[in-house]
Structure 1
Amino acid sequence: MKGSGIARHLNQERIVLLLTVVLFAVFALILPKFVSAENMLSLLRSVSVLGILGIGMLVVVLGRGIDLSMIANMAISVAWALQLAATGTSLTEALGLGFGLALLMSLISGLLIAYGEIPPLFTTLAMGTFIYGFGRAHLITGTDVVYMPNDIGWIKELGQGSVLGIPVPVIVAFVVAMTFWAFLRFTKPGRFIYAIGDNALAARISGLPVRPMLVAQYVISGAISFIAGIITATSVAAMNTRVVNSNMIYDVILVVVLGGVGLSGGRGNVRNVVVGTLLIGVLMNGMTIMDIQFTLQNVIKSLILLLAIVADSILNPRDEQTGQQGDI
């Protein structure tokens, strides 16, 4: 009851939003170039992919799971699609095969978690390693970077185009956010995800399709990963598969937890992800303008993630059932 009282009086989302406003104001005062229209658009463009991936992670975390294979799935599926397009496969077929690969890998993860009852943390960690190794050995050979063909057509506008001065990646991120806001708020499957994350045993007793919904969460995560990968690849005209070995997956987890989504499941919404993404975007943009070393930036982000997890454990304490079920 004490933890619930604290949660009612301390809203992590509002605290993070306030920090974002304060940080924005500080950077605007000390960095003349920070508030320029060009930099603002650059900031939004840079965090659009992170926000899209955060929505995918949100769907999984709400169901008391986690997906550490998102970046591997994104990189390999999109790199394979680009390679197919470069070697003569039609764009539609190449994208379909890449999307199918992303869904298949996520489906396998979901089945292992839902029906094999293997903890999501270990399942997705292993699947991420498998996807990267399998993709590099059998699908993408001879290079770490797969370049986008010059004649790839309309799809390059997803990463490089703009509408009324607004970058298309920002528009795509907005559409994804609104779509899943409506999905989680107004549809039965969306409400099922909240119910399963809040109390899986009670959800099963009440007749909800718990196992199929767990599988669906990871398939949704795989689909969103592919969308984010397409935006990434078309923005820079290439997909670098070495991104799998970067800290990007931790950035995704950071924006989800930082915004106030509970790792214990059943608590959070799209708005939390947006707030967390904006704070990290403002912070990273300001540190980049100040020319702070990349290693130091990672240290700062790691400390923020640690503080966010501590805050989550205080505001969203795990109940007895969660402890009995084990960690994510």
Structure 2
Amino acid sequence: MDIGKAFRLLNQERIVFLLTVLLFVVFSLTLNNFLAAGNLLSLVRSVAVLGILGLGMLIVVLGRGIDLSLVATMAISVAWAMQLVSQGMPVYAAMTSGLLFALGIALITGILVAYAEIPPLFATLAMATFIYGFGRAHMITGTDVVYMPKDMGWIVELGQGHFLGLPMPIVVAAAMALVVFLFLKYTKLGAFIYAIGDNLPASRIGGISVRPMLALQYVISGGIAFVAGIITATSVEAMNTRVVNSNMIYDVILVVVLGGVGLSGGRGNVRNVIVGTLLIGVLMNGMTIMDVQYTIQNVIKSLILLLAIVVDSIVNPRDEQTGQQGDI
């Protein structure tokens, strides 16, 4: 194989995968205990929730959207559900209430984007603020941190259990990745999401119900966020609602864009999310072992996100007009 052909075969996903392998090898040779089985399991487990949220973001981004309310939906819906259990509501009823809240608030977001035609960036940013404020004022009282009740039943196993020796958060993340992969690849709805992201006017002309599909994307994303919240809460036996004000939503966007999912819509798959998540997991784990300050880690992640967005804007221009701006 000649060098030119090798370069043509490289894309963002393959480059990120190669960087992940390179970092893994370097850290294995230079850092003590990096290759220890416990550390590797901890590495994957630490990014399991990030990967699940990335799957929700993937579905929205494929349809030319973005969901900045994802973390707020995750935190408030699960915190409220656990508080309902603490107040005496049966676990199944409380979890169902939390899930319905997540789906309902996501549906409102989808309606704002699809029918009111508010740009997704502004709609989801406003909804994130509303969800957090409404949740703290009317649903969750007394504390920023809602601790998991003792009578949560088998649901606790989702965060603390094991299956075939693997921590359940990893198993759940893998199962969610498989479900999203099958949904996008083998269902009509998945094909419609790709079509809308690739060419919205043509999709409308082709008979796809564009507005309901745009709203559905956010509903699916909200459901995935609730699952991620259950894993988070049962793993640490609490839900800290202050995570809404953290950098977590930017980490979610980072793993999606870094893996090669096009912000212009219609380009990307589950594999891209997995690759991006693994790179960030390896990088964060290595920097933690090296005792790099948390603020420095955030700076590095921010620079990586900025670089990934610049690359995406070049590789996947928003439209033909955008792609020609460099010719002016």
CA contact (8 A) 1:156 1:234 kept: yes
The answer for the alignment partner of 2:194 in structure 1 is 194
> Per-residue deviation at 1:245?
0.4
The answer for the alignment partner of 1:139 in structure 2 is 139
- For 1:230-309, list aligned pairs within 5 A: 230-309=230-309
Identity %: 74
TM-score relative to the length of structure 1: 0.95
- For 1:151-190, list aligned pairs within 5 A: 151-190=151-190
> Per-residue deviation at 1:318?
2.4
Deviations 1:102-161 (A, max 9, x none): 001100000010000000000000000000000000000110000001121111100001
TM-score relative to the length of structure 2: 0.95
CA–CA separation in structure 2 for the residues paired with 1:9 and 1:152: 50
CA–CA separation in structure 1 for the residues paired with 2:205 and 2:151: 54
- For 1:43-192, list aligned pairs within 5 A: 43-192=43-192
CA–CA separation in structure 2 for the residues paired with 1:321 and 1:54: 29
CA–CA separation in structure 2 for the residues paired with 1:13 and 1:49: 21
The answer for the alignment partner of 1:12 in structure 2 is 12
CA–CA separation in structure 2 for the residues paired with 1:265 and 1:299: 27
CA–CA separation in structure 1 for the residues paired with 2:204 and 2:321: 14
CA–CA separation in structure 2 for the residues paired with 1:8 and 1:138: 55
Deviations 1:296-317 (A, max 9, x none): 0000000000111111112112
Deviations 1:146-202 (A, max 9, x none): 000112111110000111210000000001001110110111000000000001001
Deviations 1:28-66 (A, max 9, x none): 011121110000110111010000000000000000000
State how many pairs are aligned. Answer: 318
Moved over 6 A (4+): none
SS of the equivalent of 1:146 reads strand
> Per-residue deviation at 1:320?
2.9
Deviations 1:275-315 (A, max 9, x none): 00000000001111111100000000000001111111121
CA contact (8 A) 1:69 1:125 kept: yes
The answer for the alignment partner of 2:3 in structure 1 is none
CA contact (8 A) 1:73 1:226 kept: yes
Structure 1 position 40 matched with structure 2 position 40: yes
CA contact (8 A) 1:264 1:322 kept: no
CA–CA separation in structure 1 for the residues paired with 2:158 and 2:311: 36
The answer for the alignment partner of 2:320 in structure 1 is 320
SS of the equivalent of 1:103 reads helix
CA–CA separation in structure 1 for the residues paired with 2:126 and 2:10: 37
Change beyond 3 A, Cα 1:322–1:226:
farther
CA–CA separation in structure 1 for the residues paired with 2:146 and 2:17: 38
SS of the equivalent of 2:239 reads strand
CA–CA separation in structure 2 for the residues paired with 1:252 and 1:166: 23
CA–CA separation in structure 1 for the residues paired with 2:271 and 2:199: 22
CA contact (8 A) 1:114 1:215 kept: yes
SS of the equivalent of 2:58 reads helix
CA–CA separation in structure 1 for the residues paired with 2:151 and 2:188: 42
The answer for the alignment partner of 1:217 in structure 2 is 217
Deviates more, 1:263-272 or 1:306-315: 306-315
SS of the equivalent of 1:239 reads strand
Q: Which amino acid aligns with 2:52?
A: I
5+ long unaligned stretches in structure 2: 1-6, 324-328
CA–CA separation in structure 2 for the residues paired with 1:121 and 1:322: 18
The answer for the alignment partner of 1:4 in structure 2 is none
Deviates more, 1:145-154 or 1:233-242: 145-154
Q: Which amino acid aligns with 1:295?
A: T
CA–CA separation in structure 1 for the residues paired with 2:235 and 2:301: 24
Change beyond 3 A, Cα 1:114–1:42:
same
> Per-residue deviation at 1:215?
0.4
Cα RMSD after superposing both structures: 1.3
Q: Which amino acid aligns with 1:172?
A: V
Q: Which amino acid aligns with 1:241?
A: T
CA–CA separation in structure 1 for the residues paired with 2:284 and 2:121: 27
Change beyond 3 A, Cα 1:93–1:197:
same
SS of the equivalent of 1:317 reads coil
